[in-house]
Amino acid sequence: MLDTGINLSEVLGDGPKQSGGMREEIVATTGGVAGLQRLATELLHQYVLTYSLPDGVKPNEKLSVSVKRRGLMVRAPTRIPEK
């Protein structure tokens, strides 16, 4: 049981950072509806970015995505996922 808790902690702790996602704890009795409304708003305002490397360019496992416009938040993985 202890090993399961450690693995869960690693996924919940580092998972969002590495995947570009986020983690939000919602207490069902007090914040369920508001939390789900925030999640719905977040999902409705997302864009999907797709990229490809030109021929001859060696892929690097690190990834950096940014924007210059104020007020925007970028959630992107820090490493290119393995195929």
Instruction: Dump pLDDT digits (tens) for 2-40.
Output: 455 566 666 666 666 666 677 777 676 667 788 788 888
Question: Please, what is the Cα angle at 35 between 81 and 67, to 5 degrees?
Answer: 45
Q: Which range among 6-10, 66-70, 71-75 has the greatest average pLDDT?
A: 66-70
Q: What is the pLDDT of residue 10?
A: 65
**Mean pLDDT, to the nearest integer, of 49-78?**
82
pTM of the entire structure?
0.44
Cα 77 from Cα 83, distance rounded (Å): 14
Q: Please state, for a pLDDT cut of 90, what percent of the chain lies above it.
A: 0
Q: What is the pLDDT of residue 76?
A: 80
Strand partners, 62: 79
